[in-house]
A and B are shown apart, each in its own frame.
Chain A
Amino acid sequence: MVFLLGCAAITVLTTAGIVVVLGAESVHFFRASGESPVDFVFGTKLEPEAVPPRFGILPLIWGTLMIALGSSVIALPVGLLSAIYLSEYAPRGVRSVLKPTLELLAGIPTIVYGYLALLLVTPALKAVLEPLGFQVETFNALSACVVVGIMIIPMVSSLSEDVLSAVPRGLREAGYGLGATKFEVSTRIVLPAGLSGVVSSFILAISRAIGETMAVVLAAGSRPQLTLNPLTSVETMTAYIVAVTGGEAAAGSPEYLSLFAVGMALFLITLGLNVISGFILRRYRESYQ
């Protein structure tokens, strides 16, 4: 009993550990660098190696947002359509093939997607866009958007499908009884009934895209800049953290400590999205007897 309680306590201690580590080291960072939290979040210059160093992470937040939005544009519609297909249209046999395939896709390590971006997506983008007169860099945000988007499709589709399948049959049959077509039943009855679950799966997927590391590090590169051009390199928060650990920064230096502050920002953003997603799922769930 004490052992079991201890096990449960470890999970709580993990959260406490994350908060304490990130919090304490972030405070160290702000003391050591003299950066104010406002300048940290809204500063547009990220030059940790300059003298004096500047730590404005707005370019990182911008890069992260760009990848998250770009990948959502791909993943959310495709994921939702495939959820509707699996729950409303698919015959049993097809479904029993497609569902495990999607699960298999969800289990592929992100490093594989990163490699794929370098091997396939970026060369493909170059082949298509460069004849049209666009300059495509080897590391670019668009390539990262594509692979991260592909990566989070299974997440959107499997979470949304769970909610859509849980909508009671009676609602669908009432719709058919009134003469609605399959399309109308799917989009005007089933989808609104499962909307809370669909929205919460969207938010979870965006949060996952924000926290994604390896695919982005390999595909998008590491140039912190505020740009609207998706064909150039950007740096995300996760890529910055990896770059600092892999770099020469001495433990305890402001540059080294900045990785904790960026980690804190990342943790708060993803935690916020996850909490909102859970709240939407609970608060707006339609419950059926």
Chain B
Amino acid sequence: MTPPTVYEPERWSRRALGPIFGLACLVATSSGVVVLSILLGAVVAAVVKGSPGGSAFAMLRHLMSSFQSVDPELAGFKAGLAGSLWLLGLVTVFAIPVGVGAAVFLEEYAPPGRLRRIVQLNIANLAGVPSIVYGILGLALFVRAFGMKRMALGPTLWAGGLTLGLLILPVIVIATQEALRTVPGSLRQAAMALGASRWQVVRDHVLPSAMPGILTGVILALSRAIGETAPLLMVGAAGAILRLPRGPSSRYTALPVEIYNYAKEPDPRFQGVAAGGILLLLALLLTMNATAIVIRNRYARSSRG
């Protein structure tokens, strides 16, 4: 037996290190909350400071109803908001069917083996590709179609929507796959035992019970698309657009792109304008995230009862 005195010299440091380390961990974690509050506080302060008469709501209303301008008094985000909503619609139409389809294929149809492994690995890697690389892809493929004039879409909403669609495709596939994996195998077996075809099983049983999970993932993916700036700069949303898009083949600009244009203006009065745009963008994102959370909670309740 070692005598207990051997432990004496280290006992103090062992006792003291724990709380110090725990405190360091707590400080590190709460830095997230601090950053979030500073961020919101700074943006709101910039809006209030920049608004004439100090009314932030009047300022936001003004920003929503006026077009891009070189005069900070007149500048707004009307075209960008419209463009972003158009993009949101187009991305929804392109990316959701393809993403969900690919996930259903991987989870429900593909036989385990090399093909499935390759597709899976490919999706994981696509999810890590920087967004600007998608912008380059969209520029060469959709906007210019390798110089083939007749196929090229030009800097239109089509090109922007397709580019963003490809960008969030891996996110949708991965989220949908996770939702499909939570559907118990017994459900599939029961349906098959009653003579349902594989497609009937997927359509009538697996997809409906995975739907809340899929919806949550899809909304989060769409909110990523709404905030993306770099790929849109590449595919031509950069210019000052002074009218609303009339259809998917018109030129456009997007909310984050306009924020970027205002933020890089040296005139400090544009800071308030950019901050107002950021508030609009964050409000849009918050609405989408809240929808996702509501769907998730409703599902959690219904699956219990």
Contacts and interface: CB of A to CB of B under 8 A. Distances in A.
B17 interface: yes
A1 B136 contact: no
B102 interface: yes
B125 A186 contact: no
Contact of B15 (A15, A181, A186): A181
A115 B169 CA distance: 27
A2 B201 CA distance: 17
Contacts of A162: none
A67 B62 CA distance: 37
Interface in A248-269: 251-252, 259-260, 263, 266-267
A21 interface: yes
A82 B132 contact: no
A213 B105 contact: no
B130 interface: yes
B199 A111 contact: no
Interface string B252-278: 000010011001100000010011001
B129 interface: yes
Contact of A210 (B97, B130, B227, B228): B130
Contact of B278 (A7, A112, A182): A112
A115 B274 contact: yes
A18 interface: yes
A105 B125 CA distance: 23
Contacts of A171: none
Interface stretch (B27-35, B67-75, B179-187, B241-249): B27-35
B211 interface: no
Interface in B129-167: 129-137, 139-141, 144, 146-147, 166
Nearest to B41: A120
A109 B134 CA distance: 16
B59 interface: no
Interface stretch (B85-93, B116-124, B297-305): B116-124
Contacts of B256: 109, 111, 214
Q: Could you say which of B29, B35, B230, B259 has the most chain A C-beta atoms within 10 Å of its C-beta?
A: B29
A213 B131 contact: yes
Contacts of B133: 18, 22, 211, 263, 266-267, 270
Interface string A2-14: 0111111011101
A118 to B, nearest CB: 6
A211 B173 CA distance: 22
Contacts of B60: none
Given A109-B227, A214-B230, A274-B125, A241 B136 contact: yes
B283 interface: no
A11 B228 contact: no
A238 B130 contact: yes
A210 B130 CA distance: 8
A5 B125 contact: no
A90 interface: yes
A186 B20 CA distance: 13
A154 B32 contact: yes
A266 B130 contact: yes
Given A17-B141, A89-B26, A109-B228, A184 B170 contact: no
Given A3-B101, A17-B137, A115-B275, A101 B128 contact: no
A82 B28 contact: yes
A82 B27 CA distance: 8
Interface in A224-282: 238, 241-242, 245-246, 251-252, 259-260, 263, 266-267, 270-271, 274-275, 278
Contacts of B18: 181-184
A264 B227 CA distance: 24
A214 B133 CA distance: 13
Given A101-B33, A118-B263, A18 B137 contact: yes
A246 B17 contact: no
Contact of A107 (B22, B33, B224): B224
B263 A111 contact: yes
B104 interface: yes
A17 B138 CA distance: 10
B238 interface: yes
Given A81-B29, A245-B233, A270-B128, A10 B102 contact: yes
A213 B32 contact: no
A116 B129 contact: no
A86 B33 CA distance: 14
28 contacts: A8-B105, A12-B119, A15-B125, A18-B134, A78-B31, A85-B25, A86-B29, A89-B25, A98-B33, A101-B32, A104-B36, A105-B35, A107-B223, A107-B224, A112-B281, A115-B278, A120-B38, A182-B18, A183-B14, A183-B21, A208-B128, A211-B131, A211-B132, A213-B131, A214-B229, A251-B144, A260-B140, A271-B128
Given A8-B102, A81-B24, 19 more contacts: A14-B137, A81-B27, A81-B29, A82-B31, A84-B25, A88-B25, A98-B29, A98-B30, A107-B224, A108-B285, A111-B278, A114-B263, A115-B274, A120-B38, A154-B32, A214-B230, A214-B256, A218-B264, A270-B130
By Cβ-Cβ distance, the 6 closest A-B pairs, closest first, are A211-B130, A109-B227, A7-B101, A85-B25, A81-B28, A82-B29
